[in-house]
Chain A
């Protein structure tokens, strides 16, 4: 059967690594993101690696008008439709402290924008009765903390949305995977102090594909973050509120 992956936030290195793998696996690829010139290069890369077709379209989480084209392009693809959402933005917490209006954009990029897009694609996927949604959240969404709680709360919202979507789409044979990456070696983390156990985007992409195959609900990548977060989530609040992590 024809398989298509819609890859949202396609300019990130994680998305690029994922796009390559599904392209080599023979899937059609629809790349959606903000830097069209860059995505055109990735589109060609995907075609040359084995995607029977690849497209690059504009997507801006803050401009729902840009979702139309994605939905139209998805509808004309035969067969199984899959979506992987890699978007999100994390301004410095200090920048948000000086300009709280930045909160709106962070939430649009990391939660409400992708949620709206998924909501619009959901009926099509239900109709096809197959396929997978991958939503990339973050370990930051598991507990609010000093250094990035706005980003964290947006991702927490996204996690909850994905859980609900899983509940809904599961009834029609569509699976939803929630992904919580720890530190990944991307442009976002390059040169940031305090990074440890950083995962390569390629190994994250491998984990995603494994999760799709095994129909996992929520995964941490790399896997040991499940245990790091288990500990972090179990620190009593009266202690946690004094920590600086």
Chain B
């Protein structure tokens, strides 16, 4: 999208006005500072996805829309999890983080903060694998996606 004030609210407004569901939305400027790139995760029948694509394209600030799930693609999401890390849990948390290729990026004598990246389902799996009562706080970015191989999105 054009990196214009209000572009984000046009997209968010479109989804709420037309009753489409938004699971996550990430946005940041690209290497070309006049453009920003948004990854939206949504769900709907083929007809609904077709309408969403058309409606997004119709926004004057939209440069291009692709449905990444039409072809091979990679998606990644970043999550930070603050967990209890006392007593027996301290070792357990370190081990779980290693298994999921997380990194402990902040440590206190009572807590760890683990950074973990992957597709959404991997982050879900990590949370499921932890003892619920050990999770103090989580924050997720929502997915960013890109096409596989030579597939690129250009204006």
A and B interact: no
Give me the interface of B with A, judged by CB distance under 8 Å. Answer: none
